[in-house]
A and B are shown apart, each in its own frame.
Chain A
Amino acid sequence: MTHTPRATPPPADHDATPPVVIQLEGVHHRFGRHRVLQGIDLTLRQGECVALYGANGSGKSTLLALLATLLTVRQGQYRLDGLDVTQHGNEARDKLLFVGHQTHLYGHLTPVENLLFFRDLRGLDLPESRLRQAIDTVGLAKAADKPVQWFSAGMRKRLALARMLLAHPRLLLLDEPYSALDIQGVHWLNAILTDYLRAGGALVMASHDPERVAALPHRPHHLARGVLSPMPLPQPPLPEPTPC
């Protein structure tokens, strides 16, 4: 796996307090009678990462779907870069990238064709060589012209993540980003995400894997029964006791 392009967002202003990227205030969501999210408040600034932890069904994926505009905020307020997302869905979608459990890839298309599709729907002005470079970066150069339907889950995940190298989103939303990735892929992803955060990107990820997330600077939050609460910051491991 080569390591050239970075998932860098647009250049950040280096003020004392980085600007707010997302702001959620009193967001509730329900499916029928079932309350999934209750009074979610969250502020995320440039260069910050929030990691969402919680049991299955606690609402992590629903919260990410709301942030990605796949679900509509009906109660509460969601602002992205100051924009009311309910009123400005298209503009908001232009600023974010979501990689969920499903990779949103077309099996009958090759990786290059899938990225061409992504490029044109996103309105990116990139040559095909740039797409091939991204495919090379995620370690799929040899499979660049083979249909994606024959790919393993890990290869699909890598290709889905290759999109963030092209899109330079303001906000990156990842649902279980480490699933299906091998150790090499995990290291690569953490390196890319660290660069992305340093360059002023904002990241929200749901994970069951705090050990892998620990490699990134982040604020852990716990979601239980739809209620989001901050968790204590992870402590560095204690040094091994030295023998007397």
Chain B
Amino acid sequence: MLKAIYRIAWKDVAGDLRRRATLSSMLFFAISVLIVFQAAFEPDRKEALRLLPGLLWATTLFTTLVGLGRVFQAEEEDGAFEGLLLASVPRGVIFFGKWLGNLLLTLLVEFLILPLTLVLFNVDAWSHVPAILGILTLGTLGLTGLGTLLAAMTRGARSRETLLALLLLPLTAPMLIAGVQAIAGVLLQNGAVEPWLKLLIIFDLVYLAMAPWAFGWLVEE
């Protein structure tokens, strides 16, 4: 089963790196958002430090949406999704493969935009980079988990990207608040990190436990 999960994720990541389709769109989108925010607010260092958590999560959310819009694109060619459903593995394995591929691409973008954000906003938070990346990773686990399920749900819809955003944004709002507060706690050193991390872990567990089951139910005719 692990081999099947790996192979589905490998197919998505290798395919995307070859076609430079999703990753380049996500990166371009993330950089555009950062530049617009910088031009609009022109924050000083202190203000930038306060804005940073929200800015990082907003960028993460938007770029995740771009990635999720294309997560099942390769499966639309030549009945490939049907081919996946013919595999003799539990439906949850297919879900985890698709989720892992999407997670890796999203994390790659996050890891690239964090240093760029710090440079662009002239924030001296380099010592907190590992902690921020850890929190972003923790939040992205659940965000992409729920997002992959919703992408599967909206796969056949005509305006699937709008529908995906409409469904994902309200459902992940509490998780995003927890993510913002956790990074703010790290940056402002106010000690309020642990409860938000616990909340993020709970969301991850709930989304990643529920999504594979719901995916199996969803793809059955």
Contacts and interface: CB of A to CB of B under 8 A. Distances in A.
Contacts of B89: 90, 121, 123
Contacts of A108: 15, 18-19, 74
Interface string B97-118: 0000000000000000000000
A101 B84 CA distance: 15
Contacts of B87: 93, 121-122
Interface extent on A, as a size class? Answer: 20 to 34
Interface in A95-113: 98, 100-109, 113
B202 interface: no
Interface string B55-97: 0000000000000000000100111101111111110000000
Interface string A38-57: 00000000000000000000
A106 B88 contact: no
B206 interface: no
B198 interface: no
A107 B78 contact: yes
A124 to B, nearest CB: 10
Contacts of B4: 120-121, 123
Interface residues of B, number: 26
B11 interface: yes
A117 interface: yes
B220 interface: yes
A177 to B, nearest CB: 15
A104 B74 contact: no
A68 interface: yes
Given A103-B78, A104-B80, A117 B11 contact: yes
A120 B78 contact: no
A116 B88 contact: no
Given A72-B221, A90-B89, A90-B90, A102 B78 contact: yes
Given A103-B79, A105-B78, A105-B80, A121 B18 contact: no
Contact of B88 (A70, A113, A122): A122
B158 interface: no
Contacts of A103: 78-79
Contacts of B18: 108
Nearest to A96: B86
Given A91-B88, A117-B11, A120-B4, 7 more contacts: A72-B220, A106-B74, A108-B15, A108-B74, A120-B3, A121-B89, A123-B4
Interface of A: 68-72, 90-91, 93-94, 98, 100-109, 113, 116-117, 120-123, 156
